[in-house]
Amino acid sequence: MDRIPILKLGDALLVTIQVDMHDRLAMALEEDLTAKIAATHARGVLIDISALEIVDSFIGRMLDNIAAVSRVLDAETVVVGMRPAVAITLVELGLSLAGVKTALNVERGMTLIEDRIHADAVDRGDLDDRPDE
């Protein structure tokens, strides 16, 4: 069975879904991702769904689950690149993915995660202040 690759980018994990999601694949992704977050101590998970044309309630719930699991493991989930049709479908299904952060594209999603990692670093006292403030 094919699996969706999970790439490590600094303190973040990058998942790009390029194929049509079926339920088995989604469950495998959830499992792999959880294991990978724990193994790499990642602080952020970026899921790019710009290639996904169809998202059903199962995939929607899976995204919610991944976000919840990541939160428990102290990583933030950002879903990026959702298509308008997919967004409308999810809203009509009543899935507003309240626990998930969203961004328009990978670049902005990455900025969100970096901001958080940076803020944590400031909190820990590793850095004095943010450079742009």
Partner 1 sequence: MPNNDKSLADLLATHEHEILQEWQGLLKASGALQTGRIKESELATQCRNFISQLRGALRPDGSLDKSSDGYASLKSMLGEVSRSRAIQGFTPSETASFVFSLKQPLFNAIDKGTRAADAKASYIWQTSLLVDELGLYTIEAYAKTREDIIARQTREIAELSTPVVKLWEGVLALPVIGTLDSERTQTVMENLLQSIVEQSAEIAIIDITGVPTVDTLTAQHLLKTVAAARLMGADCIISGIRPQIAQTMVHLGVELNVVSKANLADAFALALHRLKKAIVSVKQAPSGRQSRYVSPEDRGV
**Binding piece for partner 1, criterion CB under 8 A, among 1-9, 16-24, 31-39, 98-106:** 98-106
Block residue for tokens 């495998």: 28
Which residue in 109, 110, 113, 116 binds partner 1 (CB under 8 A)?
Answer: 109
- Decide: is 93 part of the binding site for partner 1 (CB under 8 A): no
Closest CA to 48 of 122, 2, 103, 89: 103
How far apart, in whole angstroms, are the C-alpha atoms of residue 86 and residue 64?
15
Identify whether the C-beta of residue 96 lies closer than 8 Å to the C-beta of residue 90: yes
Q: For the segment 44-83, give every residue that binds partner 1 (CB under 8 A).
A: 79-80, 82-83
How far apart, in whole angstroms, are the C-alpha atoms of residue 93 and residue 90?
5
Which residue in 19, 27, 35, 88 binds partner 1 (CB under 8 A)?
Answer: 88
Interacting residues with partner 1 (CB under 8 A): 79-80, 82-84, 86-88, 90-92, 96-97, 102-105, 108-109, 132
